[in-house]
Amino acid sequence: MPASQPEGRLLKLRDLVEAMRKLGTAARLDPSQGGSVTDARGAALAILSSDGIFLSANRSAAALFGYASNELVGRRLLDMAPEHDRASLAAHLSADPAREFHSFTTRLAARNGRPTLLVLHRQLIAANRTPDQDQRADQGAQLTLFEEPLSPEPRLADGAHPSEAAARNRLKYLMIGQQRERQRLAADLHDGLGQALTLVKLMVEDARMRLRRGQAEDAAQKLDATVLQIRETIGEMRQICGELRPLALERLGLPAALSTLCRRFERSAEGLAVSFHCEVDDRDVPEHLKADIFRVAQEALNNIVKHAAATEIRLALRRIETGLLLTVQDNGTGYDTRPLSSEDIGSTGLGLTGMQHRVESQGGALSVQSSGTSGTLVSASWTL
């Protein structure tokens, strides 16, 4: 089922960018949350109707619940909540629809039926009303960020210095985050690679039995199908590894990995020229920022190729007075002011807001400047 826009609404990219900025600020200032686990894939983001129906979801949100993005569209949060949590969830969803930001904790079940405690941060998306829409409170779309909460702040032990307690808390949160990431990786390996390898094993055993019965042609066909399955499994393994950390970063370093990324996009699209300019050495980039910078560049290039109809892209990474600046500029059609199509909401829109969350969660800033005549400029800066 494709993503859909709320009735009477014309969402624009700048609507989502502004909603993400407000949501990020409000979520960080929320005193009720002591911290959260961030998935290696990035922020789990979705656009939901005011009554909790998925209108679109990015890959991280879909993976959190064990679905594909299009499988989440149309699902109701209430149907995903355990029976004893539905009344509380319904109360949160029916809160004042004109309320700009709302954050609450609930349990939602993934595809495997196992409920997970999640913090939902919901930000009202400002959008244009159609002329025939009345002036009642706007019950439109909500940009929603799903986070797994960490344990609440423990009390200070008698005689403990606040800085020592803070250090213990950070270590505790780190260990909790690592454990949950291990659990997610184990689930990916079990549900994906584990089942695929089991299927390969059964197919090989079937081919061996056919050979023993003298059915050589049938066995050959079964082995051909097995080879295809192995290729798919290898691709899935590479995808899991790439989501955890791009392999090019480990092998080449950030500048070379970005250069390789540009060449790959240039080869993938006919008539597209992608240039890369770098004034930064790999040693000058903090390790914790390398994957984020690579992902932001990758998502920006992907959006341009899919939606901008550009013939030229210029990617640059350089030092500025305050730290690092990544820019991606194209000569395609601007898109931040035009209404987003149903496909754009789930790809360009949530892709850009995911980039924005990734940058701003590290204390950086992301901006988008776009017009129909000069293309689009995406700028991401990090303070060092």
- 158-166 contacts, C-beta under 8 A, 24 or more apart: none
Q: Give the up-direction half-sphere exposure of residue 14: CA atoms within 13 A in the CB hemisphere.
A: 13
DSSP for 65-129 reads HTS-HHHHTT-BHHHHS-GGGHHHHHHHHTS-TT-SEEEEEEEEE-TTS-EEEEEEEEEEPP-EE
Q: How far is the C-alpha of 288 from the C-alpha of 24, rounded, in Å?
A: 20
What's the whole-model pTM score?
0.67
pLDDT score of 315: 96
pLDDT at 276 over 90: yes
- Average pLDDT over the chain reads 79
Nearest of 33, 34, 62 to residue 47 by alpha carbon:
62
Question: In the chain, how long is the greatest CA-to-CA distance?
Answer: 80
d(CA 21, CA 64): 22
Which residues make Cβ contacts (< 8 Å) with residue 196, sequence separation at least 6?
A: 229, 232, 233, 236
Which pLDDT belongs to residue 46? Answer: 92
Domains of the chain by range and CATH? 9-149 (3.30.450.20), 156-244 (no CATH), 248-383 (3.30.565.10)
Structure tokens at 319: 């030092």
74 Rama class: left (phi>0) / alpha (psi -120 to 50) / beta = left
Out of 127-131, 169-173, 258-262, least confident range? 127-131
Range with lowest mean pLDDT among 93-97, 101-105, 347-351, 363-367: 347-351
Strand 101-109 to 36-37 pairing: unpaired
DSSP letters spanning 231-269: HHHHHHHHHHHHHHS-HHHHHH-HHHHHHHHHHHHHHHS
Rounded-to-integer distance, Cα 1 and Cα 16, Å:
22
Instruction: Grade residue 99 by pLDDT with cuts at 50, 70 and 90.
Output: confident
Helix, strand, coil tally for the chain in percent (to 5): 50, 20, 30
Res. 170 pLDDT band, cuts 50 70 90 = low
Element (H, E) at 313: strand 312-320
* Residue whose pair of structure tokens reads 């209430």 in the numeric block: 78
Give every CB contact of residue 26 below 8 A, 6+ residues apart in sequence: 101, 103, 121, 123
- Distance of alpha carbon 351 from alpha carbon 45, whole angstroms: 9
Asked if the model's pLDDT at residue 156 lies above 70, the reply is no
Taking residue 293's Cβ as centre, other Cβ atoms within 10 Å add up to 25
Instruction: Of 58-67, 167-176, 209-218, 287-296, give the lowest mean pLDDT range.
Output: 167-176
